[in-house]
Structure 1
Amino acid sequence: MTVSFTRSFASIARRSRAALLALLLAVASLPALGDGRISYAEIVPSEEGYVVNADIDLALNPRLADAVSRGVSLYFTADFVIERDRWYWLDEVVAERSLDFRLSYHAISRSYRLSVGNFHQSFDTLDAAVRTMLRIRSWQIVPIDALESGVSYNAALKFQFDTSLLPKPFQVTAIGSRDWNLGTDWLHWTFLAGGGR
């Protein structure tokens, strides 16, 4: 009985190691985010609060352009974080915000539509819609009194294509495919509240 149990345990351990190795190889072979980058970002005070302005340098590849032209809606997300350094503990997260974009094509009107929340805008070309999406302007992130004037904060911004909102067949296709893995790395910078970047 002990010999049988030992053989069974050794067999399970061998299969577990093989499965773990296969998983590690699969993760290692996943492509990195697309060649996008955030070329400009700033936080500025306004009457209502602090706002983010950013320019994202990113291009849709032919597969995504073809998908949206055939009626598949594409979803993108801009993620933003403000943190304050703390010497005695982890940094304090002051604000976390996400801005969601939906890019779609309407065959009847032959126009591309960019939706940001409840705001919708139509464009004659896909290029014009994408250019508008990649220029974030006056995105309010925190009220003016949420940041202490004269204090330095850390900001981070990232922009990426969200495959989780695609129809299920496209989600399966997107796994491990470089064509469906589009976005930027985090851009980090420090800014002084009450002043410019």
Structure 2
Amino acid sequence: MLAVLLWAWAMWMVLLLPAPAAAQGRNGTSITQMRLEQSDDGVYFSAAVQFELPSLVEEVLDKGIAIYFVAEAELYQERWYWTDRKVAQVARHMRLAYQPLTRRWRLNVSAAPMTGAAGLGISLNQNFDTLGDALDAIKRIGRLRLGDVAEIGDDPQHQVTFRFRLDTSQLPRPFQIGVVGQADWNIAAERTAKLPLEKQK
């Protein structure tokens, strides 16, 4: 009887563990770098993502329709007696749009989803001459603040899960219906790693 209970408990624990994350995601998207850094005002996460924008998505952009990307980082505290505890979570929402009048690309960056005009009021704005320059800025996820050192702890290593995706849920409703099942819109990657907490130089 004890053996059966131990087996059932072990199976239950396996089900609770998160699935291993892959650095290589859908549509050739990959997470090439991840870094955790401690500075005087908190702990920051940075990452680098690599992906190619499919021609179908470029065509939508050329028509003046904005597309959205989301980058999310979660930091966990390991516990030998139970599942890992989520200590911190942060997200960055990015809206990319072509401005036909100026022939420039505008990137809005916010900590919250930017649905509707009201969401753009609290975002940082950058303008770029080329689509390539705008995408390079999206691929560099810099200094996402996870919290204070007191909240996170000063362990030498922390487990971090990072996700990056093209967010089709923020597209106009007709496009949301049209992109269902289309591989071109499936840009996403996820990676989990133990990262050293580096001191800012």
Matched, 1:33 2:26: yes
Give the partner amino acid of 1:96: Q
* Contact 2:27–2:187 (8 Å) recurs in 1: yes
Which one of the candidate residues 51, 55, 71 is aligned to 2:48? 55
Summarize the alignment of residues 117-136 of structure 1 with structure 2, pairs less than 5 Å apart: 117=110, 118-136=123-141
* Contact 1:82–1:95 (8 Å) recurs in 2: yes
Partner of 1:157 in structure 2? 162
User: Cα distance 1:129–1:110, how it changes in 2: closer, same or farther (>3 A)?
Assistant: same
* Contact 2:66–2:96 (8 Å) recurs in 1: yes
TM-fit CA distance, 1:105: 0.9
Moved more, 162-171 or 32-41: 32-41
Q: Superposition RMSD on alpha carbons, in Å?
A: 1.6
Matched, 1:104 2:109: no
* Contact 2:73–2:89 (8 Å) recurs in 1: yes
Matched, 1:189 2:193: yes
Indicate the SS of the match to 1:93.
strand
Which one of the candidate residues 142, 149, 157 is aligned to 1:144? 149
- CA–CA separation in structure 2 for the residues paired with 1:113 and 1:179: 22
Instruction: List per-residue Cα deviations over 1:4-24 (Å, max 9, x = no partner).
Output: xxxxxxxxxxxxxxxxxxxxx
TM-fit CA distance, 1:123: 0.6
Give the partner amino acid of 1:42: R
Moved more, 151-160 or 71-80: 151-160
Partner of 2:67 in structure 1? 74
Indicate the SS of the match to 1:149.
coil
- CA–CA separation in structure 2 for the residues paired with 1:182 and 1:167: 18
* Contact 1:51–1:141 (8 Å) recurs in 2: yes
* Contact 1:41–1:54 (8 Å) recurs in 2: yes
- CA–CA separation in structure 2 for the residues paired with 1:151 and 1:124: 42
Indicate the SS of the match to 1:67.
helix
Answer with 1 or 2: which has the greater Rg. 1
Moved more, 85-94 or 70-79: 85-94
Which one of the candidate residues 77, 80, 93 is aligned to 1:87? 80
TM-fit CA distance, 1:98: 1.2
- CA–CA separation in structure 2 for the residues paired with 1:136 and 1:194: 17
Report the TM-score, using the length of structure 2 for normalisation: 0.77
Percentage of pairs with the same residue: 27
* Contact 2:36–2:196 (8 Å) recurs in 1: no
Instruction: List per-residue Cα deviations over 1:78-130 (Å, max 9, x = no partner).
Output: 01111111122221000111110000011111110001021000011111100
- CA–CA separation in structure 1 for the residues paired with 2:167 and 2:47: 19
- CA–CA separation in structure 1 for the residues paired with 2:79 and 2:178: 43
